[in-house]
Structure 1
Amino acid sequence: MEDLEYSFRTPASAASLFDAVSTEAGHRAWWAMDCDVGATVGAPCVMRFNKDGTLVTMKFRVDELVNNERVRWTCTDNDNPAWKGSTLTWHIESTGDERRLRLVHGGLALGGPPYEMTKAGWRRFLDSLQGYVEGRGGDPMPGMPAT
């Protein structure tokens, strides 16, 4: 098991960062356009997106919500087996006029294509998140087309 860590610094407010990583509207703007995000500890979250014509579903449980400081989820089910049981923790740290958002993906199963895909995916999505909170717009994954 390994922890992946990514971060960026931004002039965006701690409240903007917290909303982006703790609300359905936030996640729809930078991660997955089709999602359900629980707003309380213990609530479920589901991310759904279209990856090359295949529906990808990721399920989580909200474990911690500390206003403007930290959000932590546990992955309860995922099409990528490397994720099951892993945690996502978004830390928001304020220093002077800027904030640092740090994502720790903890307990990720090592090796192989699922692991490499996760590393590449987080680089993409953290760029999307930063663009969203800085007003340049995010680049979330689309949902499946309606049938």
Structure 2
Amino acid sequence: MGSDTFVYTTYIRTTPDELWKALTEPELTRRYWGVAFETDWTSGAPMVWEEGGRRTADPEQVVLRAEPGRLLSYTWHTFTPAWADAVGLGRDVYERLAAGPRSKATFEIEPSGDTVRLTVTHGDLAADGPVKELIGEGWPALISSLKSLLETGEELPEPPR
């Protein structure tokens, strides 16, 4: 693709406040993502990623911008050997992930009639790196599960690996 940015847009029948909660509240993020964030959601605040009992903290893992119901942006998580083992990535893929630049995820929330337009932008990617490849499949599945949770009360089942 050659670009350092991945963009995905969808429309969800919800409110900006409910979507914000689904992006930030641990009991909801665990349901559709399997991840919870420990942070106070203020610009510059550190973020600890908790996934499957593993906690990942790093000084560069921070909230970049947080405007409830409008915009959320943070640096992407730190890749660790424990994380790579837990998600079934081989050593070579882990080393390529760890060697790449730190990327960032941004969620733009815009009212659109009786729906909300959600645009997810994942930027600062190595154009041909493994993060771009992984999120190209990951974000659409994740956002589909988020949409399902908000519209029906049930997240999508995790696809088989």
- What band does the TM-score fall into relative to the shorter chain? 0.7 to 0.9
1:15 to 17, 25, 34: 17
Structure 2: unaligned runs, 5 residues or longer: 81-96
Aligned length: 136
- What aligned pairs does 1:26-45 form with structure 2 within 5 A after superposition? 26-33=28-35, 35-41=36-42, 42-45=44-47
Q: Does 1:75 pair with 2:42?
A: no
Q: Which SS does the other structure have where 2:127 is aligned? A: coil
The aligned residue for residue 46 of structure 1 is 48
Higher helix share: 2
Structure 1: unaligned runs, 5 residues or longer: 142-147
TM-score normalized by the length of structure 1: 0.76
| Cα distance, 1:82 vs structure 2 | 7.3
The aligned residue for residue 92 of structure 2 is none
2:26 to 21, 24, 27: 24
Higher strand share: 1
| Cα distance, 1:139 vs structure 2 | 4.5
The aligned residue for residue 144 of structure 1 is none
Give the fraction of aligned pairs with identical amino acids, expressed as a percent. 25
Deviations 1:105-128 (A, max 9, x none): 011112254432221111111111
Query: Contact (CA 8 Å) 2:24, 2:37: kept in 1 or not?
Result: no
- What aligned pairs does 1:124-139 form with structure 2 within 5 A after superposition? 124-139=141-156
Distance 1:67 1:121, change over 3 A: same
Query: Could you say what the CA RMSD is over the residues aligned between the two structures, in angstroms?
Result: 2.7
TM-score normalized by the length of structure 2: 0.70
